[in-house]
């Protein structure tokens, strides 16, 4: 293979960032995300144990379900005793709670925030709207299935699920983390093109980089 050939292949490996204007492309990274292998079995098990006991939730109310997170934080249900804390920035958060319906405008922000989270990252989708559209199944601007756009670890059904149901959902997530089943981050990078295709199908004005580092 000559040099030009290699350059072509390297170019294909990069993201095009076609949504951005030409002058802004140099400001954003065009690297593809890559899968990161787990550490060795025992260390990873220990880390998973710690991760499951210290879940940092991205405090981003994406729908009406965010209302149910407030009683969960305050005295009556008190999620802090389970080691769940709100964190105001996606850089530090590890759990993304998608609160109910996600309109097209919101899912754009959801994708941005999800991609900015540092792995391993988990997603809890709450409410029927994220499962099959719920009562908004025929709406023109809310999505029907969340798992076509970002990988979801735990669904909590209901409209709205009570805080008790949310606690049950968090406990299910903890079990999955401890069993090492929550590899949504690697799933996202492995099926990256499929996810991007689905996302671009509904987000018509894609004016952000293809992967938000």
Residue 116 beta carbon to another protein: minimum distance, rounded to whole angstroms: 8
HSE (side-chain half, CA atoms, 13 Å) at 135:
6
Out of 105, 171, 179, 191, the only residue in the binding site for another protein (CB under 8 A) is 105
Q: Which stretch binds another protein (CB under 8 A): 3-11, 61-69, 141-149, 160-168?
A: 141-149
Rule CB under 8 A: is residue 94 a binding residue for another protein? yes
Among 14, 91, 164, 179, binds another protein (CB under 8 A): 91
Nearer to another protein, 70 or 105 (CB): 105
**Given candidates 11, 14, 53, 191, which one binds another protein under the rule CB under 8 A?**
53
Q: In whole angstroms, how close is the CB of 7 to another protein at the nearest point?
A: 27
Rule CB under 8 A: is residue 148 a binding residue for another protein? yes
Cα separation, 117 vs 141, in Å, equals 25
Q: Cα 99 to the chain's mean position, in Å?
A: 12
Residue 122: strand pairing partners = 95
CA atoms within 13 A on the CB side of 72: 24
Element (H or E) spanning 58, and its range? Answer: strand 55-58
Q: How far apart are CA 166 and CA 31, in angstroms?
A: 36
For residues 107 and 200, the answer to whether their CB atoms sit within 8 Å is no
Name the pairing type of β-strands 95-99 and 55-58.
parallel
When asked if residue 167 is in the footprint of another protein (CB under 8 A), the reply is: no
Residues at the interface with another protein (CB under 8 A) = 36, 38, 46-47, 50-51, 53-54, 56, 74-75, 78, 80-81, 83, 85, 87-89, 91-92, 94, 103-105, 108, 118-120, 131-133, 137-145, 148, 185, 198, 201-206, 213
């Amino acid at each position: 293979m000559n040099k030009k050939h290699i350059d072509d292949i390297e170019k294909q490996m990069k993201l095009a960032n076609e949504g951005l204007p030409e002058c802004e492309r140099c400001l954003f990274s065009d690297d593809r995300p890559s899968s990161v292998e787990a550490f060795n079995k025992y260390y990873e098990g220990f880390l998973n144990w710690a991760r499951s006991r210290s879940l940092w939730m991205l405090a981003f109310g994406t729908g009406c379900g965010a209302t149910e997170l407030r009683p969960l934080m305050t005295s009556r249900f008190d999620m802090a005793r389970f080691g769940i804390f709100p964190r105001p920035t996606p850089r530090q958060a590890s759990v993304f709670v998608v609160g109910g319906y996600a309109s097209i405008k919101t899912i754009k922000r959801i994708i941005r925030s999800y991609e900015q989270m540092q792995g391993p990252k988990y997603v809890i989708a709450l409410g029927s709207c994220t499962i099959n559209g719920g009562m908004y199944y025929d709406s023109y601007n809310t999505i029907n299935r969340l798992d076509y756009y970002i990988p979801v670890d735990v669904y909590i059904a209901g409209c709205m699920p009570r805080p008790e149901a949310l606690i049950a959902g968090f406990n299910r997530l903890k079990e999955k983390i401890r069993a090492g089943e929550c590899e949504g981050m690697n799933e996202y990078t492995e099926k990256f093109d499929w996810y991007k295709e689905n996302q671009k199908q509904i987000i018509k004005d894609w004016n952000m980089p293809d992967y938000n580092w």
